[in-house]
Amino acid sequence: MVASPPLATRLAERNFRRNLAALAQVQPRDGSDAWQGGVFGHPDCPLPGDWELVFARDGSISVVDQAGRFHRGCSVPLLAAREQLGAMKVSGACGCLLDPMHAAALRVVLDRLRPEQSVIAILPNLDDAMLLLHCDDFCAEIAAGRCWIVAGPDWLQQLRSCLLGQAGLAIPTQFIRTCDADVASTDVLIARSQALFGEIAAWRSRRVGEIREHSRHPSNELRRICLVGGQRFRLWNDWAFMLAGVMSRAGLEVRVFDTDNPRNATPLALAEAVAGCDAILSSGVLRADHPGPVTAQIPWITWLTQPREIPPFDQGADAAIVVDRSLFDSLRSAGWPEDRVMVADWPDASEWLLDDASGSPVTPPAIDAPAALLADIPPLNPPSDLEELSSHRLLWEFLAHQMAHDPFAAFDRAERLIDDGMQRYQIAGAGLDRRRFLEELIVPAYAVAVARILCRSGVHLALYGRGWDQFEELLRFWRGPVHNRREFRSAVAVARCLVHAVPSSRPHPIDATGRPVARYREGKVAGLLRAVRSPTQTIKPRQSLVGAVQRLWQGITARR
């Protein structure tokens, strides 16, 4: 009877096959020795004979040699990678990992990247590449365009093919190397890579110019639109995905440019996507955010739902749709003409709450259904990276104390609350990330305070979202995270009403769900409790989103 291979060997071989299959789908092979006849071309290619697959002391897969020594002398490769790369932060769209000692280094980098970021790993030694592909499963990241691997003596040729074949993959702006990497050899990798990156950047710039030069003028009828925005689900901020559906149902041909896709991270990718379209519609993205790739003749209409920095109007074919008067005033203050800005309502419930399978509205809730509060709650303790910035930590603690003492003091004055703290501790505005203090502390702390008030008042409440499990007294009300659109629709569908848990009276997408909304108003908590117990729907429709797009587009094209 033949004994089965050890578990580490079986898992490693499974990782290898899955990684190879994913790489074969996304990375070019032409002219690459590694792809044609080396490690990547042989799914059953064994590791070097003196390597034995084992579990390292931290639970990751590694190898030992015949003397029992772990690869590169490290028995805890995952823990070592976390320690060495713990402070690593990739600021651009793509990073370049140089000759990682182990798959754990690539895993740690990927885990620290945002979903729209990517990394290219360079492994000049094929044995090291083969070990990396055995020791972890990267197939999901490879398929999503987040992980790219070039290996072997012809790694530079592979890298060139990859960047030429994937016009939307960003050129790395940051090199990453672990502490145990050989400095001399990685310096060579950097020098050769940088020369190639310059060539690729020049080629892409020329291609953008060619596309702009040959781009046609928009037609006299709005038929084809390029939708620019992230398509990944975000709780209460899913507008780019929603816009695509709204415009498609209005009879327009929609070409989606998903800014969450790492393969769409370059001006060339945007220029190619826009070519042949009559207009661009974006969610929160202005033309000034992507200067260069799009000719000024193509109308760019932005739907703004949140305050942001507004660039001055540049006399181009730009327009904006906003959800409230304050955003309208911000654009006008920046010089945007009145006829280029329009206030429109959120899409109604028929656009939001369609069942994926049937295309019909979801079932109404039961009479005894709970009120639902949907919010993601990050840890509210001061982040560890604020330790070195003592004044910023003091500001965090000050705001946390204020929110714990009187959370409703932040209602419609959260920015002023931050200003008060900055003045108290004499903090300059230049180095402060105000958005972080607002979105990661004030807004979630307000939602937690609202939930506590409702629970203590005996309200039949259901909490949805990440992070509620950090509050013991709220655990029994928590129904779990909201991972995707189906779970969002399900949570809304079973709710008797929805609780508005944002410290602002500004319009909020909660009003688009078709469900009654309970909110804090006029400085009275009692009003919030009454609204939860006797919810009513009071939102009245205004200008439709599709109608606003059509009117603005017609106004722009009429002046050509």
* Among the ranges given (5-14, 161-170, 357-366, 490-499), the one the predictor scored with the smallest mean pLDDT: 357-366
* Among the ranges given (30-44, 227-241, 265-279, 480-494), the one the predictor scored with the smallest mean pLDDT: 30-44
* pLDDT exceeds cutoff 50 at 35: no
- Token readout for 2 is 């033949």
pLDDT band at 560 (very low <50, low <70, confident <90, very high): low
Helical residues (DSSP H) of 250-348, grouped into ranges = 267-274, 325-333
- Measure Cα distances from 214 to 175, 206, 220, 485, 537 in Å: 36, 13, 18, 39, 51
pLDDT in the model for residue 363: 63
pLDDT in the model for residue 314: 84
- Measure Cα distances from 318 to 195, 219, 226, 282, 436 in Å: 37, 17, 14, 11, 29
**DSSP state for residue 283 in the 8-state scheme:** E
The pLDDT mean for the chain works out to 88
3-state helix, strand, coil in the chain (%, to 5): 45, 15, 40
* pLDDT exceeds cutoff 90 at 255: yes
- Distance between CA atoms of residues 122 and 150, nearest Å: 5
**What single-letter amino acid sits at 149?**
I
Q: What is the pTM of this model?
A: 0.88
End-to-end CA distance of the chain: 82
Mean of the pLDDT values across residues 362-389? 82
- Distance between CA atoms of residues 25 and 33, nearest Å: 17
pLDDT in the model for residue 33: 43
* pLDDT exceeds cutoff 60 at 220: yes
CA 235 to chain centroid: 12
- Distance between CA atoms of residues 194 and 199, nearest Å: 9
* Among the ranges given (41-50, 228-237, 532-541), the one the predictor scored with the smallest mean pLDDT: 41-50
- Distance between CA atoms of residues 227 and 84, nearest Å: 40
* pLDDT exceeds cutoff 60 at 1: no
Residue corresponding to tokens 């008067």? 325
* pLDDT exceeds cutoff 80 at 218: no
* Among the ranges given (242-246, 272-276, 414-418, 536-540), the one the predictor scored with the smallest mean pLDDT: 536-540
Percentage above 70 pLDDT, the chain: 89
pLDDT in the model for residue 361: 54
* pLDDT exceeds cutoff 60 at 539: no
